[in-house]
Structure 1
Amino acid sequence: MLGATFTDIAIWVFYPFNGPIRAKIKLITLPLGRIGEHIGDWEHVTLRISNFNGELWRVFLSQHSGGEWIDACDLEFQEGGGSNKPVAYASLHGHAMYPKPGLVLQGNDGVGIRNDTAKIKKVFDTGLGYEVIAAEYGGEGGGVVEPRWVNYFRKWGPKIDYSVEDDVKRIERFLFGALKRAFVNLVKKIPDEVYGEDGPTGPKLNGNWAGDEK
């Protein structure tokens, strides 16, 4: 919230499972075994609303360890009846949020980690079923009693370390020349925390709970 100019409404969604990542090596898509899997995944969307006219100004879409602000004019909105509900697309397996369907590649030159989204009939309308869990800017909690789980500060999933060397070597055997070198370089850039399962902490431990989105 910026002074009295805007009000931010953060919408948190819990996914029970985060699936394995997939790599794109030029024209080839490669499943990477168990790399990226973990139990529990918290993602969120923040609506920034003008306090002067109640209009949606911008939307923050969480993406892995960061995210991006999207102006309202660049968003899609729910179809039918002049809806004012913005649409976000959650990526396959990873649940990172994007404003448009399609492929977002974490990498460059056609080599990287795939974030795939698509327009489908199945949607999750957060406006149909939600619970207000906190209103810290409303003075004394804004009359909202926080559910007990909000103050659960441990991990929402187990920590499991496992070796992925066999998966990496298996994939390397099918690649040659420049493709193999590109794959090896990509594997070196994957964060260490992806090589194992480690559940996330809850919303209250996220930096945006008491500060601005980054």
Structure 2
Amino acid sequence: MATVTIRSAHFPNCYLRLDGTAVTRGFDDGAGTVNIQGYAGPWETFRIEKPAGEADDVVVIGSTAFPNVYLRVDASTVHGFSDPGSGGVNAQFGHGPYERFRFIPQSDGTTAIESVQWPGVYLRMDGAAPVPVPTPFGIVNCQASIGLYEKFIISEVSHSLTRADLEQAISTYAPVLQLHPNEAYVNTSIEYFLQHSTLVDSKSGNRIVHPAIDQLPQAGDDKQFYLELEDGAKGGDFSSAKAYVHAYWVQGMSYTDLQFWLFSAYNGPGTAHINGLVFDTIVHTGDVNLAPLGEHFGDWECVVVRIDNDTKEMTNIWLSQHSGGQWFDQEQISSSFRMAQGTHPIVYSSRNGHANYPSADSNYTEHYKVPPVGIPAGIEFFLRNDTANGGLSLDCSQNYQIVSADWLKGADAYPVPAWVTYPFRWGPEGTATHISANTVKQIIQAAAGPLAPFLPGSLLLLLAAEILPFFVKDDVNGPGAPITKSTWNGGY
């Protein structure tokens, strides 16, 4: 039994993908979704098995991510060549006649995948209109002949990186984090944070001043524990800063994700950029400090560098940006990132909020436009995520700690610090910042400048009520540890 990826020979980086989430039992018409992905992960790897009692060249194609789920072809409607292809391809729990295939070698070194139930019918992949990874796309169906869309490259999945491979990849491709020159809340270490914090047990009332890492609790009631940071330590200590590396790989993946987790003791306030509009023309522009909105204790951000396990080269980068993130493929890396020493991507951290971007810019997010009814005036609203050169920089190839690479065992394993598995808050529990529509009204009024006299109070309150949800992004309680986030397990 081999574990393989099935890639289109005609469409680069188009891999067969099987989503068997809904396949929990046998279905007459099959179930699940089969389409295309721009990389090979767990849902894009398959087990090639030989079913009992069949000829030696007959195989079934099982999902590695979904036990006992197999690729299924229904070619009952395929009656000859069809330009867009025809028939149905999905999944089945267990395998029968519709799940049997033959691999037919081609003279150019590729492989066609023929249905045993319907001889002369072949699996077809159309990746002509892909979208940026990691969104699934494309069409997988059937064809009654072998052409460009019916040829595949079937490759055995590579093994995991060794400890030496992992450390070499960090040495070669780790990012350089560039801070804004006016950053008030710099990156710091876990040790610094704990040396200036108190661990609070809300159930017993016990307090541990300046707890050691090994004193962090690993279990308890919901919200039982939290950390209180001293106000004087909010700015952090950049001299102690490092990247905390979680190397993510599971059986069946052809790549390893190097997750560089970056920690700041405090997340500063947001900045709003507001344009006053008349007939969609900007007549006044203002920036507003939203303090205390956006502020919270402890801040985790992440830069992911994806390494191909065969070539040991960087193929993708993912940057965390507040509650979301952004993927970059090889072509986008070349066009979007500056490189330090040729191979280390320079990543820009936004002022106060620490979101990550590939260049120095204003990086506007949360665009919101409110054109009032009945008068030719309006408000355009953005959040600023300013990045710039000239500030401190953190070379993550020199300042890092590997905290998790769980496929490595024995002498090759890395110890997992207790803060990684601490499941509680990095800030106080039960506190939040609040802002009223009236306060937002005053902010809009100040930012509108000369336009303000033309905006009646009732209209301003209406605008404020519309925009208010965009101002409330965080409470001050602080995040949980990275292991509690979906990113930790590849949920980018």
**How high is the TM-score relative to the length of structure 1?**
0.85
Q: Is the 8 A contact 1:58 1:72 kept in 2?
A: yes
Question: Residues 173 and 149 of structure 1: is their aligned pair in 2 closer, same or farther, counting only changes over 3 Å?
Answer: same
Corresponding residue for residue 199 of structure 1: 478
* Distance in 1 between residues matched to 2:419 and 2:342, nearest whole Å: 32
- 8 Å CA contact 1:89, 1:117 repeated in 2: yes
| Identical columns (%) | 30
Equivalent residues of 2:307, 2:315 under 8 A apart: yes
Q: Aligned equivalents of 1:141 and 1:133: distance in 2?
A: 15
Q: Check if 1:186 corresponds to 2:467.
A: yes
Which structure: larger Rg? Answer: 2
Shift of 1:66: 1.4
In structure 1, the residue corresponding to 2:293 is in which secondary structure?
A: coil
- The number of residues matched between the two structures is 209
Shift of 1:183: 5.1
Q: CA deviation at 1:12?
A: 0.5
1: distance between equivalents of 2:329 and 2:313? 12
CA 1:72–1:158: 2 relative to 1, 3 Å: farther
Give the conservation status (yes or no) of the 8 Å contact 1:77–1:84. no
| CA positional deviation for 1:158 | 1.5
Question: What corresponds to 1:213 in structure 2?
Answer: 491
Contact 2:360 2:388 in 1 (8 A): yes
Q: Which residue of 1 aligns with 2:319?
A: 61
1:123 CA drift (Å): 0.9
Matched position secondary structure for 2:315: strand
**CA deviation profile, 1:89-122 (whole Å, cap 9, x unmatched):** 1111111111121012223355221111112252
Is the 2:274–2:444 Cα contact (8 Å) retained in structure 1?
no
Cα RMSD, aligned residues only: 2.5
CA–CA distance in 1 between the matches of 2:296 and 2:391? 27
How far did residue 168 of structure 1 move? 3.1
- Which structure has more relative contact order (CA 8 Å, sep 6+)? It is 1
Q: Does the aligned pair in 1 maintain the 2:441–2:463 contact within 8 Å?
A: no
Cα pair 1:156 1:202 within 8 Å, conserved: yes
1:189 aligns to what SS in structure 2? helix
Partner Cα separation in structure 2 for residue 169 and residue 33 of structure 1: 15
**Residues 86-95 or 166-175, more deviating:** 166-175
> Unmatched 5+ residue regions in structure 2?
1-39, 42-251, 276-284, 370-379
Q: 1:149 aligns with which of 412, 419, 431?
A: 419
Q: Deviations over 1:19-76 (max 9, x none)?
A: 0111111221111121111110011111101112111100110111111111233332
Distance 1:148 1:130 in 2: 17
Q: Residue 7 in 1 paired to residue 286 in 2?
A: no
Kindly state the Cα deviation for residue 86 of structure 1 after the two structures are TM-superposed: 0.8
Alignment check: 8 A CA contact 1:135 1:142 kept: no
How far apart, in 1, do the equivalents of 2:410 and 2:443 lie?
56
Residue 30 (1) aligns with residue 288 (2):
yes
Q: Distance in 2 between matches of 1:117 and 1:47?
A: 20
Task: Please give the residue correspondences for 1:1-214 in structure 2 after superposition, counting only pairs within 5 Å.
Answer: 2=41, 3-26=252-275, 27-75=285-333, 76-79=337-340, 82-108=341-367, 110-139=380-409, 143-159=413-429, 160-165=431-436, 167-174=439-446, 175=448, 176=452, 177=455, 180=460, 184-191=465-472, 194=474, 196-210=475-489, 212-214=490-492
Cα distance between partner residues in 2 of 1:139 and 1:95:
34
Query: Which residue identity does 1:209 align to in structure 2?
Result: W
Letter aligned with residue 95 of structure 1 = H
CA distance in 1, matches of 2:356, 2:255: 22
From the superposition, tell whether residues 206 and 163 of structure 1 become closer, same or farther in structure 2 (CA, over 3 Å). closer
CA distance in 2, matches of 1:137, 1:151: 17
**Equivalent residue letter for 1:168:** V
Deviates more, 1:51-60 or 1:172-181: 172-181
Q: For 2:353 and 2:346, how far apart are their aligned partners in 1?
A: 17
Partner letter of residue 423 of structure 2? F
> Counterpart amino acid of 2:470?
K
Counterpart-to-counterpart distance in 2, 1:56 and 1:138: 21
Q: Secondary structure at the match of 2:306?
A: strand
The residue matched to 2:363 in structure 1 has which SS?
A: strand
Deviations 1:109-142 (A, max 9, x none): 5522111111225211111111110112335795
Deviates more, 1:180-189 or 1:54-63: 180-189
Give the whole-Å Cα distance in 2 for the aligned partners of 1:190 and 1:162. Answer: 11
Inter-partner Cα distance in structure 1 for 2:351 and 2:358: 14
What's the offset of the Cα at 1:164?
Answer: 2.7
* Pair 1:121–1:33, CA change in 2 (3 A): closer
Q: Supply the distance in 2 between the matched residues of 1:142 and 1:63 (Cα, whole angstroms).
A: 33
Q: Secondary structure at the match of 2:440?
A: helix
Conservation of the 8 A alpha-carbon contact between 2:268 and 2:352: yes
Q: 2:409 and 2:482 mapped to 1: Cα distance?
A: 20
Given the superposition, is the C-alpha separation of residues 172 and 69 from structure 1 closer, same or farther in structure 2, using an over 3 Å criterion? closer
- Runs of 5+ in structure 1 lacking a partner? none
